[in-house]
Structure 1
Amino acid sequence: MNMTFRWYGRGNDTVPLEHIKQIPGVKGIVWALHEKPVGEIWNKDEIKSEIDYIASFGFHAEVVESVNIHESIKLGNNERDYYIDNYKQTIRNLGEFGVKVICYNFMPIFDWTRSDLFRALPDGSTALFYEKAKVETDNPNELIEMFSSYSEMTLPGWEPEKIGRIKELFIAYEGMTNEDLWENLAYFLNEVLPVAEESGIKMAIHPDDPPWSIFGLPRIMTGRESLQKLLSISDSPSNRITFCTGSLGVNPQNDMVALAREFASKSPFAHIRNVKLFPNGDFIETSHLTSDGSIDIKGVMRELSDIQFDGYIRPDHGRHIWNEKCRPGYGLYDRGLGIMHLLGLWDAYQTLK
């Protein structure tokens, strides 16, 4: 197991690499060129600069999250080949500098979606919260205003240039079905996977968050059947999954232990986090402890241990604790606690072998 920590770059993260270095067991930094507009080629000098900086603290930079997919590719319009060619060149450039995994998603318009960025938990901490009744409408304006007003840092998936085109994008997606989106994903993968193979990179798709349709938009990476379908698009060793317990786990029909047993070997990258589900469909992020949420984190880690999982793993969305002022879900303290919990489970299960 290769423990990593997601970091948003110099000048765009409250957590410095100096502090991450003090978390035992962290080997690598999960990074991206977050200020790069979606669809542009990541140039070699930009990549080298960021990787050299990360390496100066003793970390590897073998996982990128994310090289975002331009909406033209998801829409399958007449501009998609231009942006796919740009994506191919970015893959080649990243491969030259030792990147092994690119995490990406194929969610139309929006990335992860929550209704509250700082909802209070009983212990006094706050966390990301999803209120089903508020989100599952045909009008995203209230959420758009919330995300766009959060000006302390950019929020991945909610880039200002995209928010300014929301109405235009909704019109473009009118009438698109899940099957249409699957066809556009297959077209993209059939184009980029040969380049990824040549570059020694695995393309690891992230499940939709949450894994169901919002605002009438199609979403396709939602559970066991969709993971199987994704893998059936191509038998390329570069066609892989990012195994995210929190994204898939908010649907109670997704048994995360069973999914880990079936798909961990096809997942070079894992996000491990816990969420508390409520009967009305709401959910909130919690600590990584199994007892604090609704996902059997202990069982998932046992499955990873049983197969001697040698991929990359990171804690995911943490609570905001001890008055830390940080990017929503991505502070230092609770993710540091999450790492120690995950490493403790791993060590215990490895000892039992």
Structure 2
Amino acid sequence: MQLSFRWYGNTDPVTLKQIKQIPDMKNIVSAIYDVPVGEVWTKDKINSLKSSIEQEGLTLSVIESLPVHESIKLGEANRDGLIENYKESLRTLGNSGIKTVCYNFMPVFDWTRSNLNYELEDGSKTLMYDNDFIKDIAPVTTNLNLPGWDESYTKEEMAALIEKYRQIDEEDLWKNLEYFLNEVLPVAIEHDIDLTIHPDDPPWSIFGIPRIIKTKESYQRLISINSSKNNGICFCTGSLGCLEENDLPEIIKEFGDHIHFVHMRNIKRLDNHSFVESGHLSKYGSINMKEVVRALKAIDYKGTIRPDHGRMIWGETGKAGYGLFDRALGATYINGLIEGVETNDSTIS
């Protein structure tokens, strides 16, 4: 198991020099952020990103994410050309030495929260999802920018896109995911790239739009499309942990050969599908982080783990969920859990 850290490029207020001071932090998770979704990532862009990271003595280990265009998710007539672009980007990444690529199949919205500055009892600020608040929102007519809202769309374009998704159901979305994977997995296999799908966040439908990567049954269906290990999973404890029915260690042990990337964060489940993001320690949330790491040890997981969303602490400001301080604390906590399970130290808690 290796630690990694998300870095948003040269505009990220968290610098590579700061990241590499986190104990045992050697791997960077990043992407190319200035190429529109659907266009090809060039060799020059990829090599420039790698070079900037390697100059600081770190390694670009995971691309998160190579985004999937909405027309592919919707199964529209222009999807084949967009898929060809996706395959070309995969080939270039593979030829540049990248072996893990994360993506998601969430329609319109990426991770969604209702409050980016919810204050916990200790005065830290965190992300919150209030289901009662979200379910009463009309996302097009409400003057609100939610996390995951693609600001490249005008309000009219967003309205049209949401309406398109409301005309399809989960089965349609599954068929479109299967079509996509049948096209891109041969390229991933040829270049020994592990494609890892991130679960939906939160793992249920929002705004009347279907979501499909939510539970153990979702992963069973995913693997039934193609059993190759390259048809992989980004295992996110925070996303999957929002549903109490998801037994995280059990899912890890069942799908171990397909797990190639792990996001570790804790959440505290509240009533009615609401939750707050807590500090990483098990006792602060609803997820037993120690048992998650033990399950990863049981499958002999050798991939990367990154501390996921962190609170804003000690007066830090910046990109919501992606400050330095609390994610660094999370990394040191995960380090301790890894050391404990790898030395079979039963006193670690």
TM above 0.5, yes or no, is yes
> Alpha-carbon deviations, 1:109-130, whole Å to 9, x = none?
1111000011101110011100
Q: Does residue 226 of structure 2 align to residue 234 of structure 1?
A: yes
1:295 aligned residue (287, 297, 312): 287
- Deviation of 1:234 (Å): 0.5
Contact 1:268 1:311 in 2 (8 A): yes
Distance in 2 of aligned mates of 1:280 and 1:190: 37
Alignment of 1:213-228 (within 5 A): 213-228=205-220
Task: Kindly report which structure 2 residues correspond to 1:168-183, keeping only aligned pairs within 5 A, or say none.
Answer: 168-183=160-175
Cα distance, 1:269 vs structure 2: 0.3
Q: 1:285 aligns with which of 277, 281, 296?
A: 277
> Take 1:174 and 1:189, find their aligned partners in 2: how far apart are those partners?
23
The answer to whether the 8 Å contact 2:230/2:258 transfers is no
Once residues 298 and 106 of structure 2 are traced to their aligned partners in structure 1, the CA distance between those partners, rounded to angstroms, is 32
Matched AA of 1:120 = E
Is the Cα–Cα contact under 8 Å of residues 243 and 264 in structure 1 kept in the other structure? no
Instruction: State the match for 1:78 in structure 2.
Output: 77
Aligned-partner SS, 1:62? strand
Shift in CA distance, 142/17, structure 1 to aligned 2, threshold 3 Å: farther
1:89-104 aligned at under 5 Å gives the runs 89-104=88-103
Once the two structures are aligned, what percentage of the paired residues are identical?
Answer: 49
Query: C-alpha deviations, 1:224-269, integer Å up to 9, x for none?
Result: 1001100110122210100000001001111112222222332100
Taking the aligned partners of 2:228 and 2:273, their CA distance within structure 1 comes to 37
Where structure 2 has 5 or more consecutive residues not aligned to the other structure, the ranges are: none
Tell me the number of residue pairs that the alignment of Structure 1 and Structure 2 aligns: 344
Q: Does 1:167 align with 2:159?
A: yes
CA offset at residue 143 of structure 1?
A: 7.1
Alignment of 1:37-186 (within 5 A): 37-137=36-136, 139-141=138-140, 145-147=144-146, 157-162=148-153, 164=155, 165-186=157-178
Report the 3-state secondary structure (helix = DSSP H, G, I; strand = E; otherwise coil) of the residue aligned with 2:219.
helix
- Give yes or no for contact 1:290–1:298 (8 Å, CA) kept in 2: yes
**1:322-342 CA distance string (max 9 Å, x none):** 010110000100000001000
**SS at 2:126 equivalent:** strand
| Deviates further, 106-115 or 304-313 | 304-313
- Conservation of the 8 A alpha-carbon contact between 1:104 and 1:206: yes
Matched, 1:34 2:33: yes
Residue 297 of structure 2 is aligned to residue 305 of structure 1: yes
Alignment root-mean-square deviation, CA: 1.4
Distance 2:243 2:15 in 1: 34
Structure 1, unaligned runs of 5 or more = 148-154
Q: CA deviation at 1:142?
A: 7.5
- Give the match's secondary structure for 2:48: helix
Counterpart of 2:151 in structure 1: which amino acid?
A: P
- CA-to-aligned-CA distance 1:277-334 (integer Å, 9 cap, x gap): 1123210001110000001111101111223210111010100000101100001000
Give the Cα separation in 2 of the matches to 1:143 and 1:54: 40
Asked whether the 8 Å contact 1:138–1:216 carries over to 2, the reply is: no
Q: How far 1:38 moved relative to its partner?
A: 0.6
Shift of 1:36: 1.6
Partner of 1:5: 5
- Local SS of the residue matching 1:14: coil
| Segments ≥4 residues shifted beyond 3 Å | 141-144
Alignment correspondent of 1:267: 259
